[in-house]
Each structure stands twice: as structure tokens, then as C-alpha cells.
Structure 1
């Protein structure tokens, strides 16, 4: 992997990479947790965030994150919490990583695939550990920790899939997904079944590219959970998952109706279990039988719902005016008599109106109660406690059950005003409605966060005294904020004065700069005038020179002008050649270096090849005598026999025979040793003779100079640079010698010399 040059490098990433490279394997997960602090310093989509993620990729920290998830975290400090944190860091690094196009394919095909597989491996190990812990009161804390780690890793998988559209396919194709889905543990199975709709929400067409067998395996397990399990959470998640899969891949509707024919009777046990809406939709899907009918019925139900909502809207619009008129009448009556608020709150119709489910009516009644309490703040002290609790019960019910933002805002405001008017109700609110705080989470970001936050603080305080102290504390914070705002505004006024002074100084500085520019322009104008003056003086000098020329005789004028023109031409040529040489000097230096380097390389290669050739062919086959024919072999054998008859051997002992054999071997070795040089010289002589023959033939056939054509010139020219350079040098030298006197040609230094292979470069 090639690192791209970067002007700035994050030293934290570099230091962390060096520490990871030097530390032991068990310490690597703890070190990699520092990436969370580094990533938190920049937003994922910003330039700094992209730069940090790219440096993490370049220093192989991302690969280390992927590999470290494979190890067993039971031997690491922090155990599976560390694994969940590392999975979250891995998903953050991979999301928002901008790589070059050459490395994107490797990242998607290798790194992301391994990252998804290792994340599921971590979840599988956590699930195995979770299943071994007994479900008892003493072990619930450990089980909850493991379940939180398990869900955290799955959330990291979803986050990773949201950043890369190719990840959902890898998630659904991972074999660990089916393994996790097959287990019988309720909590882990519900988490996995909640993962599948989230993955399908990221890429709705991912099921089209999956293998049909894999999809049917997942559907088989979901239908099995839906038909066999008795856990409501498992049934609800399985039903939701089946519906989302059928929505993403419509051909599965027919498969669902034909493959699981006995599913409809089994769904009866889930009636009234709390997910009747999804169950009804699944019933209608099984009843339709195919995707087209299911789609048509869905559109039909949507049309009925729209009509019902429209009719309700029209009805509520007709009832708004009377309700508002009645509310205004009640406000006017209560504001005129201080005894009326008690009668209003004790009226049984108030509670009846509050119990209704119509949104606008209930909101109007809940807006009435704070206005009544504003008229008489101590009216709740004289009311029956049971009546107050009934009103509070209905308000808390609206706050916890309703999904209308206007109802939630009015109920929250009403509860706060009742608690402010009657402080003992704060303890009742905290003790009587203990499960209210988790239910308030659904109203976050609904538009009445200020009242919601005040209600949270009221529930957190527990009693009226603490609530009052916290209220005073928040009031002190507000006062401090107002005081700091006053101080800041005072400093701002001072800063404005300072800034005005700074502007004056800036204008003065700008004026000085403009004066300097004017002076610079004047200087440039002066230089131009001086240049014009110099040109004028030069022109006058030329005119005077011309007047001087006029004095010369007519016979000398042409010679004088010719001499002046030659001097001018030489001066111009010298200046131009100098300019041209300076311009091309750098290119020439590069050319000379390359040329000399090529010569050096060629010389070294030739020497190396020559050494190899000498080692390989100590005695060349070409230097040995050629093979003998049958006739020549018979003739030589006859000569050998004749020689043996004429000169028989006279050896008397074995030593003399060995000495004669040794002498013959030495003679043969000397022959082969000298035969190589002799044969090379013979080859050289033959080559020279052939070259001379060719050259003599070319000279003999050369046409006369008056009939030479371009083709003849090309035939007698050489394309080799050294040969052409040497020929040009010899030609120039020969022309120079022709211009010399005859007596200067007698010396040896002017005779033709043999070509020496020197490095001669002529520009």
C-alpha cells in the first residue's frame, strides 16, 4: 500500500502506530482505544475527519483494528466492553474514509468483509458466554453487561452498513448471522432479528442479489421462531422481520404463502400480545396469496385510513370554535371571582372532559387548568386529595400513552403548574409514578424540551425542598449568565471603541502605502524618462556618426560600411549564441550525463557478457577441427598405419610409455591454447578481407559526383553517431590540411591517426 504525501501528519496517529508496532499482543486493544479520542476531535464528514481516517488507513491501524477483534477478550482487561468499544471505533473509522480509486476495491472486498466477519465473531463469543451464565438474581448484573456489549457490537454493524452500501450484502451472507439466529436465547435472538430490518432499511434491494437458498434459510428460522416460541418479544420481532423482508423482496410473498401453508392457524396464539398491527398485516399478506394482491389491499387500507383522518380533521375543525368559546367564557368567569377556581376544579364535568380521547378538546381543557391556577395559586390546598390525584392520574396517563405532541406539551405544562401551586405533590409525583421517567424519553426533541427538562429535574429531586433548591440553583445560573452577558456587552462597547481606533490607524497605514505607491510610480516614470533620454542621446550620436561618414571619400565608404556590418553581425551572433547556449545548457548537461551513463553501462555490460562467454567457452567449438567424413577418416587411418610401420614404437618400459603420453597431452593442450587466438585472428582477417572487398566494390561502383542522388548519399552514409562524428571530424581535418602549406604536411602529427574510441561530444 503506497502512502500519499501529505503536508501535515497527525502526530497522535504516528505515535500510536509506533506503540502498536512495538507492544505485545495483549496490550494492543488497550492502545487502540485511544483512537476514540483522536476521532472525537473532528466530525466524520469534515476535512480533518477524512484526513485522520486516511492516516489511520495508511499506518495500518485499521487493519490492526480488524485483526484484534479475532482474539479472545477474556484475557484482556475490560473483557467484552473493550471488544464493543473497538467495534464502535472500527465502524467510525470505516465510515467517512475517503481512499484513492486504486485502493477502494481492496478496502471493500477485503477489509470490510473481514471487519463484518470479525464483528459477528465477537457477537458469537459474547452470546456463548451469555448462555453459560445462569439466569439468577446474583448473576443479572453480569448478564446485563454482556447483553449491552452484544447490542453495542450489533449497533456498530448497523452504523458500518449505513456508511457503505456494499456492507448489507456482506452482513446477510455472513454465516455467523444464521448461527446467531438459530440459538434459543431470547434476548440475543431478539437483538439479531432487530438487526435485519435495520440492514434492509439501509439497502432495500439487497435481497435481489442474494442466493435464494440463503434467503429461504433465514425465512425458515424466522417462521420457526414465530410458530414455536412463546416469548412475546421473539414473536413481535419475528413478525416484524418477516414483513420487512417481504416488503424488500416482493416475490417472497408467494413463497411465504406456498411454503408455509400452516402458518395462519399458528398465528392465533399471538392475538392480544401487543403487536396486533404487524400481526394483522401478516394475516392480510397470507390471505392475499401473491405480491400484487397484497399491494392492492395495502393501497385500499391506506385510502380508508386517509379518509378516516380527513373526516376526523373536518369534525375537529367544526368543534374547535365552540370549545374555544367555552374556554374563554370559563376564564372570564374565574378571573372575576377568586372563589370560582375551586368550583371549576371540583366540577365533575372537568374530569369527564379530561378523560376524552379527542385531541383538541383535551388540549383545551389542559390549557384551562394552568390559567385557573394562575387566578388562585392556593386553591389546591383546599381541594380534596383524592380529586387532585384523579386529575394527576389522567394527566400522567395522557403524558405516557398519547403520541400527539400537543397533548404531551399541554400535559407536561399542566403537571408542572400543579406542582408549583401545591409543593407536597412533588413527593407524590415521585413516589406514585415511579416509572414515569423512562416514558418521558419519547418526547425528546418534540418541541417542549424546556418544560420536559424541568419535569425531569423535578422527578430527579424527589421532594419539594430539593426541587426548590435546584430551582434556586438554576436561577443563580441564569443570573450569572445575565451578569456575564452584561460584562460581555460592556467589553464589546470597549472593543468597538478600540476597533474604531484601529480603523483610524489602518486608514493612516493605508494612506502611507498609497503614498509609497505614488512614489514608486514616480520613480518608474523617472526611469522611463531617463531611458528615453538615453535613446535620444544614442540617436544623436548615430546622426553625428552619419554626418562623419559623409565626410569619407566615396571609394572608402563601401569598405567602411562593410566592416561595420561585419562587426555588428558578429556582435549579434555572439549575443544570440550565448543566449541560446545558456537556455539549452541544462538540457545539454542532462543529455551528456545520460550519454556518458549509457556508455558506462554498455561498457560494463559488454565486459560482463565477455566474462560469461569466456567462462562458458574455455575452448570454443568453433576453434576445434571440423568433423571427419568417412573417406577422410579412412585416409587418416591409412596414414597412421603407414606411419606405425615406418616408425614402430621403441618404448621398453611403462614409465617411458606414460612419459610419452604425457608429452602428447601437453602438446595437444598447447595446440588448443594457441588455437583459440590463432582462430580469432583468422576470423578477424577474414572479416577485414570481406569488409575491404565490400568497400572496394562500393568505391568501384560509385557514380560520378555530378550524377549523385539522395539514394546514393544514403547508401554511403552511416546511421551510427560515433561513425558519423568521426567522419565529420576527419573531413574537417582534411579540409584544414588542404589549406596548409606543403611543408607543414611533412610532420607526423598531421598524418592520419587510427580511430581511438574516446568520448567525443560535439554540440
Structure 2
């Protein structure tokens, strides 16, 4: 994709150069504006952008832009807007360009370009100051063009730092600084501040007279102007220059002795931070003292920020603690009121129940009195005797209930102990059974059951026949080792599963023996009328849970036999879970 676009870009630059060669000088600036579209079509800093900049230099289009900036743009179409656009093209094409003839570019072209941009800025400033205030639209356009040209100049010397020396010692810059206009003064002070910040050693390369001239103009604006923005820009410029050029502090202290009281009139004008820094520099009187003051202020600021952070952290913690305390107090208060309300309701309910009980007792006694008064006199004593007997029966029933409820806990504990004992016995029998089975297991070195000598001789003959049937292939050392390794793995796998197979075989044999024993027992069982106690003992289980389950099943079968046939239609078989739940219920009853 890049290879297909490069010839197109080269052709556009070449076509623009051919058009410029054929046109008149008046149309050259407007044609050169097409360079901006070419630059905008590529990514800044890419290889395509570098190639286009070299093509612009090789076709001498950049030199044409510099020559076009020397014209009077009041007669050109677009006027000073065209000049500002050409200044932007000149700056953006010059930054990042490294042509083969580097000496010509750096020693001749770039200083000339910086000087031309300063001249263009001075011309725009001159026209801006001459225009009356009534034509505000034209003044707005000119100040916008002036700012664009200054921004292009800043872009140019930010890419080539040695140009900051040419800019600051230029007479055109001093001429522009000597102005009473507010807008251009602010922009120029910002440019001076930017140049010193870009190249911190630029003031060391300038003559003392140049530095004094620049400082005279900056301090003059502090003394002669009342506008807060100009004062802020001048103060900020002095502070930034003093940060990168420490001899300036001593110069301000010795050369401009009246600056300290002069700055007091700018207090409270909106730039107090920069003003405090400048006053601190003036109070220090030397670079060492200023550095100490700066470090002291930095330490004080860090301590203040850290203490503020700690206090805010404590305040947040206190707020959270207070909120938690309030929330806990409110919750306890709500819980206390709820408990009080609940107790009040319970007391009210108890009082109502007591009154209802008393009322019922009074009504019952009144009915008894009415009934006794209606009885014949001879039956009254009999009725009272029967009432006393019934009351005694009730008291005895209540007391027996109390005694039985007292014994219920002991019965539950006994049932729990019986259940625990049964569980322990079951696990013990299972463990002993496993131990007996392990003792009965044959050792691994013993031959498997059923392999006698005849069978062994027969298998040995089969093995010999298979060996004699085909001679083994000749194998190298590695193949033999691999075969030996496979045989060992198969042998280990056989021995690993051999014990499990024997256990399965023994379990199967034991189950078959148990089934045969049960079958013989059921086959030889006598009839019910001929059964003796010994036969009953043979079919009786010694496990309490099994006996309880058998008894339950027997009762169910008897109950089912007594039922009519139509009740047996909807009887469903019970699941294992229902049977287990039923067993647990019966065991608890027992």
C-alpha cells in the first residue's frame, strides 16, 4: 500500500514545482498553500512524511516559501491569512528535515527563516496597532494571524534549539517588545518564556546588553501597565527565566532595586502564586539562597500535603467510626423498643388470657351452682362425690404425664446408646470380616486356583510350539531394551490387577456359597405345624434392626392379607428411602 502511494506523492510535489515555475510572482503564495494539503495527507514523523519533506527541499519549494514571505501580503489574495499559512508550512517542513546539504540548511536557511518570521510578526503587529478600534473584525483577524506566526516560530526553534539565540538577540524582537498593545505583548512575553524554557542555556550565549534589554522591557511592562494579564505574563516570564538562569536572581537584586516595592501593587490580581515566587527570589538575593528558599518551600509544601492527607484520613476514619456508632446506637435503640413493645404485647396477652380464664372459671362455677340448685337435695352429695373423683383422676393423669415426660429423655438417651452400639458393632463386624478375607487371600507368588501340573505342562507345550513355530527376529541392543521394557510393563500391569481379580473371585465364591446355604435352608425347611424352637432359632436374626424390620414387614403382610381385594388395587411399592425412613421411625419408637 505504501509503495503504491509514494509515486503519487512524488508526482504531486513535482507537479506543484512545475506550476510554480510557470506562474507569476503574485500567484506563487497561493500556489504554495497546496503544500499544506500534501503534508496533511501523511502521518507526521513517518517515512512518507520525511520523504515528502526531502522532495520539497530538493525541488526548492521550501526556499520558494521563504522568498514568498518577503512579499507585501496586503496585495496578495488572502492577505495576512496567506502569510500565516505559509509561515506554518515553513516551520512544519523545516522541523524534522535533514537534507544532504546540511550546512546550507542549518547555517543559512534556518537563521534566515527565523529572521523572516520575526519580520512578518513585526509587520502584522505594526498593522494591528495602526488599525482603529472600530474595525474589530479586522483586528481580530490580524491578532489571530500574529499568534499563528509566533506559534510557527516557536515550533521552528523547538525543533532547532540553536535558533533560540537568533530569536532572542534579534532587533525585531526588541522592536516588537517595545509596544503598548496588550494582546501582542502577552503573546511576545509567552514566546520569550517558551524560548528560555526550550533552551535553558540560551541566556548564557547572549550578550549582557541583549539580556538587559529583554529584562528592561519585561520589567517596564510590570511598571507601566495596569492590566492583570500583562502583569501575570511578565511575572511568569521572569520566574521561568530565573528558574533556568540562576545569575538572573543576582541581576534582579542589584540592577532593579525598585522592583520589590513595585510588585506590591500587583497583589490580589489573580496570579499570586507566581508573584510570591518572584518576591521570594528577590528576597533571597542570590542563587544559593533562592535554592534554599525553594527547597524550604518544597519541604513545607510536602509536609503540609502529608499532614493534610493524614488529617483527612483520620477525619474519614472518625466519620466512619461515628457513622458506625450512630448506626449501632440506632439499631440497638430500635431493637430495645421492639423488645419493649413485644414484652408489652405479651403482658397484655397474658392479662387478657388471665381475665378470660377467670371469667370462664366464674361462668363454670356459676353453671355448677345453678345445676346444683336445680338438683333434688338427695342427689347433691352424690354429685359432689363424683366431682371429687373426676378431679382426682385428672390430677393423677397430669402427674403421670409429668413422670412419663421426665422418663422420655432417659428413654431417648437409651435408644441413642443402643443405636450407637449397633453402629459400632456393625463396623466392627465389617472390619473383622475384611481382616478374615485378607487372611484367606492367596499370596501373589502362589499359582492361581485351578492350575494343576497337567494344565501347566499343557500350557508349557503351547508356549514351546509358539516359540518353535517362528524364529525371533534379530534385534539390536536398543530394540531388545525396548522389548524388555514393554514386557516388564505388561508384567507389572498383570500383578497390579491380579489381587483385584482374586478378590472378585473370592467374593463371587462366597456369595455363591451363601446362596447355596440359604437355598438348602429354605428347601429343607419344615412346615409351620411341624416347626420346633430349634427351627425357629435357625430362621431368627440376631440383629435388632433386622428383626424390627422383619417384624414390620410381617405385620404389613398380615394387614394386607386381611384387606379386601378392592383395596389392593392402588397399593404402590415403597421406595428404598421410604423404607429407611420407616425403619428409623420404628427404631426410635423401640
TM-score by length of 2: 0.53
Matches within 5 A, 1:673-692: none
Superposed displacement of residue 218, structure 1 = 0.4
Superposed displacement of residue 46, structure 1 = 0.8
- Tell me whether 1:145 sits opposite 2:152 in the alignment: no
Residue 117 of structure 2 is matched in structure 1 by 119
- Tell me whether 1:203 sits opposite 2:199 in the alignment: yes
2:172 to 168, 171, 176: 176
Distance in 2 separating the partners of 1:191 and 1:327: 54
Distance in 2 separating the partners of 1:323 and 1:96: 58
Matches within 5 A, 1:589-604: none
- Tell me whether 1:289 sits opposite 2:290 in the alignment: no
Matches within 5 A, 1:196-345: 196-321=192-317, 323=319
Matches within 5 A, 1:333-482: none
| Deviation digits for residues 224-261 of structure 1 (CA, Å, limit 9, x no counterpart) | 11112111111111111112222221112111111111
- Tell me whether 1:88 sits opposite 2:88 in the alignment: yes
Distance in 1 separating the partners of 2:73 and 2:326: 68
Structure 1 residue ranges without an equivalent (≥5): 1-5, 332-763
Q: Relative to structure 1, is the Cα distance of residues 16 and 319 closer, same or farther in structure 2, using a 3 angstrom cutoff?
A: same
Q: Relative to structure 1, is the Cα distance of residues 246 and 68 closer, same or farther in structure 2, using a 3 angstrom cutoff?
A: same
Superposed displacement of residue 43, structure 1 = 2.1
Superposed displacement of residue 326, structure 1 = 8.1
SS at match of 1:96: coil
Distance in 1 separating the partners of 2:170 and 2:213: 13
Superposed displacement of residue 175, structure 1 = 1.5
| Deviation digits for residues 597-626 of structure 1 (CA, Å, limit 9, x no counterpart) | xxxxxxxxxxxxxxxxxxxxxxxxxxxxxx
Superposed displacement of residue 330, structure 1 = 12
Q: Which has the larger radius of gyration?
A: 2
Distance in 1 separating the partners of 2:88 and 2:162: 19
- Tell me whether 1:194 sits opposite 2:190 in the alignment: yes
Superposed displacement of residue 277, structure 1 = 1.1
Distance in 1 separating the partners of 2:29 and 2:7: 30
Q: Relative to structure 1, is the Cα distance of residues 8 and 129 closer, same or farther in structure 2, using a 3 angstrom cutoff?
A: closer
Asked if the contact 2:250–2:285 (Cα under 8 Å) also holds between the matched residues in 1, the reply is yes
Asked if the contact 1:44–1:96 (Cα under 8 Å) also holds between the matched residues in 2, the reply is no
Asked if the contact 2:189–2:237 (Cα under 8 Å) also holds between the matched residues in 1, the reply is yes
Distance in 2 separating the partners of 1:203 and 1:87: 22
Residue 34 of structure 1 is matched in structure 2 by 34
Asked if the contact 1:197–1:244 (Cα under 8 Å) also holds between the matched residues in 2, the reply is yes
| Deviation digits for residues 114-157 of structure 1 (CA, Å, limit 9, x no counterpart) | 11111111111111111111123xx1121111111111111111
Residue 107 of structure 1 is matched in structure 2 by 105
Q: Relative to structure 1, is the Cα distance of residues 131 and 55 closer, same or farther in structure 2, using a 3 angstrom cutoff?
A: same
Residue 68 of structure 2 is matched in structure 1 by 68
Q: Give the RMSD, CA atoms, in angstroms.
A: 2.2
Q: Relative to structure 1, is the Cα distance of residues 287 and 10 closer, same or farther in structure 2, using a 3 angstrom cutoff?
A: same
Structure 2 residue ranges without an equivalent (≥5): 1-5, 328-590
SS at match of 2:260: helix
Distance in 1 separating the partners of 2:18 and 2:323: 73
RCO higher in structure (CA 8 A, sep ≥6): 2
Asked if the contact 2:197–2:241 (Cα under 8 Å) also holds between the matched residues in 1, the reply is no
Residue 155 of structure 2 is matched in structure 1 by 159
Superposed displacement of residue 161, structure 1 = 1.5
| Deviation digits for residues 391-415 of structure 1 (CA, Å, limit 9, x no counterpart) | xxxxxxxxxxxxxxxxxxxxxxxxx
Aligned residues: 323
Matches within 5 A, 1:706-721: none
Asked if the contact 1:44–1:95 (Cα under 8 Å) also holds between the matched residues in 2, the reply is no
Superposed displacement of residue 195, structure 1 = 0.7
Superposed displacement of residue 320, structure 1 = 3.1
Residue 406 of structure 1 is matched in structure 2 by none
Superposed displacement of residue 107, structure 1 = 0.9
TM-score by length of 1: 0.41
SS at match of 1:26: coil
Superposed displacement of residue 303, structure 1 = 0.4
